[in-house]
Structure 1
Amino acid sequence: MTANYLWIKSFHVIAVIAWYAGLFYIFRLYVYHVQKRADPSVVATLEVMERRLLRGIMMPAMLVSISLGATMLYLQPALLRMPWMHMKLGAIVLLLGYHGFASHTRKRFLAGDYFLSEKACRWINEAPTVLLFFIVIGVIVRKP
C-alpha cells in the first residue's frame, strides 16, 4: 500500500464517520418533528435543523465517502474479489437507500404529510446501526 492510499483511506474513514453521525441523528429529529407537529415554532426549528443536517453534513460526507471509497477500489481492484467487500458494498447500497428515504421523508413532512408515526421513526432510526455491524465486522473479521 502506498502512502497516498493510506491518506485516502484515512479521509474515507473520517467522511464515513461524519456521514454516519447524520444517519444516526436524522430520524431522531423526525421523532421530535412528529411529536411536535402541532407546534409551528418547534416545527420551524426542526425543519431548519433537518435541512442543515441533510444538506450541510450528510450529503457532502456521503459524496466524499463514496468518492474516496471508489478511489480506493480503483487503486486496489483486487478488493472487488473479496467476499467481505461484496457484503460491504451491499450494505452501502442499503445506506444510500436509507439516506434517500430520509430526504424523501423530510420533503413529505415539509408538505404536512406525516406518513410515519413516532414509533416508526424510532424503529427506522435503528437501521444504520444494524448496517454498521455488518460493515465493521465484515471489514475487520474477514478471511484473507
Structure 2
Amino acid sequence: MALETSYLWIKAMHVIAVIAWYAGLFYIFRLFVYHVQKRDEPAVVATLEVMERRLMRAIMAPAMIVAIAMGAWMLVKQPALLRMPWMHLKLGAVFFLLGYHGFASYTRKRLLRGDYFISERACRMINEVPTLLLFAIVIAVIVRP
C-alpha cells in the first residue's frame, strides 16, 4: 500500500526541519569555542553573542519545534511505527538531542553573564555529540537494526 501524499509531505517537512536544526546543533558549540577563546575582546564577544542568539532563536528553536511536530504527526498517522525497535532507538537519540539543545541554551545564558564555566576544549568535545547521535538516528531509520 502506498503512503498517502499528505504523509509524504509531513515527512518531507520533518526532514527539512531536522536538517535546519542540525545545522545549528553542529555550529553552536563552535561559536562557544570562539566565545571562550575571545573572552577578553569585548567587541568580538558582542558579535558572537549576536550570532549565538540569532542561531538559537531564528534557526535552531523553530527548526526543532517543526521537526518534533512533524515527527509526532507522522507517529499519529502511522502509530505502528511506535512498535518498531528502530523507532525506539531513534526516539532515544532525539531525546538526547533535545538535552543537547537545552544544554546549549544553558551554556549561552551563562556565557552571556560572563560565567565562563566551560573550557574551550570542553566546547570542542561537546561539539561532536550531534555527530554521534546523527549516526545512531540515520542507522536506525535506514538500516533498521
| TM-score w.r.t. length of structure 2 | 0.98
Cα-to-partner distance string for 1:70-108 (whole Å, 9 max, x where unaligned): 000000000000000000000000000000000000000
**1:11 partner letter:** M
Determine the structure 2 residue equivalent to 1:74: 76
How well do the aligned residues superpose, as a CA RMSD in angstroms?
Answer: 0.5
Structure 1 unaligned spans of 5+: none
Q: Does 1:2 align with 2:9?
A: no
Return 5+ residue gaps in structure 2 as ranges. none
What is the one-letter code of the residue matched to 1:100?
G
What is the rounded CA distance, in whole Å, between the counterparts of 1:115 and 1:85 in structure 2? 36
Partner of 1:130: 132
Distance in 2, Cα, partners of 1:100 & 1:91: 14
Residue 116 of structure 2 is matched in structure 1 by: 114
Give the distance between the partners of 1:92 and 1:141, measured in 2 at CA: 17
Per the alignment, residue 23 of structure 1 pairs with: 25
- State the distance in 2 between where 1:49 and 1:18 align: 16
Instruction: State the 1:142 CA deviation.
Output: 1.3
In structure 1, distance between residues paired with 2:71 and 2:140: 16
Match of 1:96 in 2: 98
Q: How many residues align?
A: 143
Match of 2:88 among 86, 90, 101: 86
Q: Counterpart of 1:32 in 2: which secondary structure?
A: helix
